[in-house]
Structure 1
Amino acid sequence: MTDSRPGVTVREDGSRRVFLALLDDGTEAGGAYYRRRDGVVTFTHTEISPDLEGQGIGSALAAGALDQVRAAGERIVTLCPFVKAYVERHPEYQDLRA
């Protein structure tokens, strides 16, 4: 059995206030949009291209974005239902909550 899920890299685009999910071929598969203030990143909305949903890209995006927030020493607020549910399912990110 082979894993057909695409490889995902997460990169922040600060000018657009979004963490981007980029596929191995450079395709923008989606983004986790945010506001940042006083060391707190508020996730407001996450979207994945409809033709790529259900392939684990959203989860890879959430994990990558949260890891970058942690590395920057920041905290999070999860207004976005997807990121909120992801954090609730992954206790290793609970400590990031503001």
Structure 2
Amino acid sequence: MSCLSQRSGRFTFKSRRGHSEIYLHHGTVRHAIFGQLEGEPAVAEVFRWRQGRFYFEEGIISQVQTVDRPWAHLLIDNLQKFDETIELSVSEQL
């Protein structure tokens, strides 16, 4: 929703798997980091989390840019990967 409202700032995500940060600039994902991962791989890791907490801090801007694709593309790609993972685990149980 923050992407749609053209906000700038930092999302911080925390779970048992670790800590991730995703930076927005005028509603566009600009930079993401999770451990040693940066960019799209870091975003993809957050999509794999089944639970955790997050908060948004307005106005914190990253000078680094590691993500070049629109948020909608990141969302669709990662949802497809998640869907494929579910299909594989269901077919393995049959």
TM-score, reference length from structure 2? 0.31
Asked which structure has the greater CA Rg, the reply is 2
TM-score, reference length from structure 1? 0.30
Quick one: higher RCO (CA 8 Å, sep 6+), 1 or 2?
2
